[in-house]
Amino acid sequence: MSRAWQRMLSGRRLDLLDPSPFDIEIEDIAHGLSRVSRWNGQTLGEHSFSVAQHSVLVLDIFCAKEPQSPATDQLHALLHDAPEYVIGDLISPFKTAVGMDYKSLERKLEHAVHLRFGLKADPGPDLHKRIKVADITAAYWEATLLAGFDLAEAEVIFGNRPSGKAPELVPLSAVDAKSLFMSRFKGLLGQT
């Protein structure tokens, strides 16, 4: 039988087919996400724009739209792409090609991550939708500011230009992206 687990730097062995919350550590998530590139690395800058940095951007956009949201909702926003520390950041066209088996694996990992940090396994459709709005807004800005999309192309794929001022996006080193992610996580965990 083929091996279906991954050894993490923490020493944990995460079963990919049946992930346990007990085998998930935030340091492993932050480390992995800081080294996974958004847009398959096809971005401007000395460093790639990591999923860790994207996660913080999504959190910032979510909080700007919902400044009174509870820390648990904000933590869900920060961890919205947490499974990618194991499975990577597959671009949307590839996810479509892979199909629903991929989504099932991603959902199992997401639920285990949420349970590990005291959140509801499934945040429910309302919170998921609100986080997705922030995620798409972040994708629009990343596409136009870092990934070379022109405005017309971005609007076809991501919708109209988001209102407000464009964020300043400077891709960070993996070390700095990990530190930023961990700082935001610890701040939110302290509020739950």
How do residues 10-67 score in pLDDT, each as one tens digit? 999 999 889 999 999 999 999 999 999 999 999 999 999 999 999 999 999 999 999 9
Q: Specify burial of residue 142 (Cβ count, 10 A radius: 0-12, 13-18, 19+).
A: buried
111-152 pLDDT, tens digit each? 999 999 999 999 999 999 999 999 999 999 999 999 999 999
Q: Which domains does the chain have, with CATH numbers?
A: 25-162+174-189 (1.10.3210.10)
Q: What secondary structure does DSSP assign to 111-144, as a single string?
A: HHHHHHTTS-SS--HHHHHHHHHHHHHHHHHHHH
Q: What is the pLDDT of residue 87?
A: 85
| E strands, the chain, in order | 5-7, 13-15
Find out whether 83 and 36 touch, Cβ atoms under 8 Å.
no
User: Backbone phi, then psi, for 116, in 5-degree steps?
Assistant: -60, -35
The confidence score (pLDDT) of residue 104 equals 83
pLDDT at 101: 73
For residue 108, the surrounding DSSP H or E stretch is helix 100-116
Buried b (16+ CB within 10 A) or exposed e, 109-120: bbbbbbbbbebe
Structure tokens at 110: 């997401």
* Dihedral sign computed on CA atoms, order 36, 37, 38, 40: negative
* Mean pLDDT for the stretch of residues 172-188: 98
